[in-house]
Structure 1
Amino acid sequence: ENLGLDDTGVEVDERGFVKVDQTCRTTLEGVWAVGDLVATPQLAHVGFAEGITAVRDILGEHPLPVEYDKVPWCIYCHPEVAFVGPSEEAARQAGHDVVVSTHHFRGNGRALIVGEADGLVKVVAERQPDGSAGRVLGVHMVGPWVTEQLGQGYLAVNWEATAEDLAALVQPHPTLSEAFGEAAMALTGRGLHG
């Protein structure tokens, strides 16, 4: 739709999105754009992050740009779907040699208690020269309340944690989040509940 930006100096792309740089500055000095106006993932939390980036830039704080390939995605259906980072296929297409671990909720005590045992957690990690799992590239979840559980995966991907880093974390029991811990432990060859 027409944003009323004609003759303002704010450029839009062929799809009608406002063109911005990595700090959300438009092509017009002193004007920033975020959220649904720009060609980035159309997610509320991405818009919030862009807004924070823009404000910090306006304040002269030199913000880090939003890393769009590492933002969390949540789909509110039944079962829920949540992911961060590339899928196994996308990681391979990007040139990564990967190791993958999957843990099903049917092996999770809390999922059985609440009667929601359908689903899984999949962790995609770089394969090290010795064949072991290294840096976590992506975390993908389908199942009960996974949109609430993705936080660990988001931190793992964005902080470039390794499978060993994650396997060392103590997961509370019985919780649904143990499935993430189990998938990470399996990457190190030390899974508990297949």
Structure 2
Amino acid sequence: MPDSQLSTSIIAMCQNTEAISYMITYGFVAVISTRVSNEPGARNIANAKKALTVSLALSLMLGVAFLLLLGLDHDLLVRLFTTSEAVVSAFASMTPLLIGSVVLDSTQGVLCGVARGCGWQHLAAWTNLVAFYVIGLPLATLFGFTLGFQTKGLWMGQICGLLCQNCVLFSSPCEPTGRS
């Protein structure tokens, strides 16, 4: 990257912001995994579906809350990390991509929890591997280095991986297998 120090700062701030937002939805992952695994055993498939709907809605609401926080006042967040005007300006241009990845990440966690609760840990693991290492990483390399989008390109590759992961996990018909 032409300005590696700036790029590293931006990526680190975006990763930390996304990690903070994911910690909020991580509780939903544990809850939905437990509920989805317990409800079918109690012959309450409707309750398992209701738990999925509620968890997805709550994670999306938290994703939208982060979206509003970043969209309306990203300066507040970026000033927690730095006082450099160059970093603040570069982070402002990354905000739309960060918003997209936060929203996608909030749903993928819940969907991975559902897969785990259904006994499909292998589906979540393979989806993670393929989405990020086979799709996201090559696209990040293509966008960031070959096409010259630099830091934005690296993040766009991650978003493509998250989008693929969401699509696969959302479209998979979860039939509880009794495995855990």
Same fold (TM over 0.5): no
When the two structures are superposed, what TM-score results if normalisation uses the length of structure 2? 0.24
Relative to its length, the structure with more strand (as a share) is: 1
When the two structures are superposed, what TM-score results if normalisation uses the length of structure 1? 0.23
Select the structure of larger CA radius of gyration. Answer: 1
Relative to its length, the structure with more helix (as a share) is: 2
Q: Highest relative contact order (Cα 8 Å, sep 6+), 1 or 2? A: 2
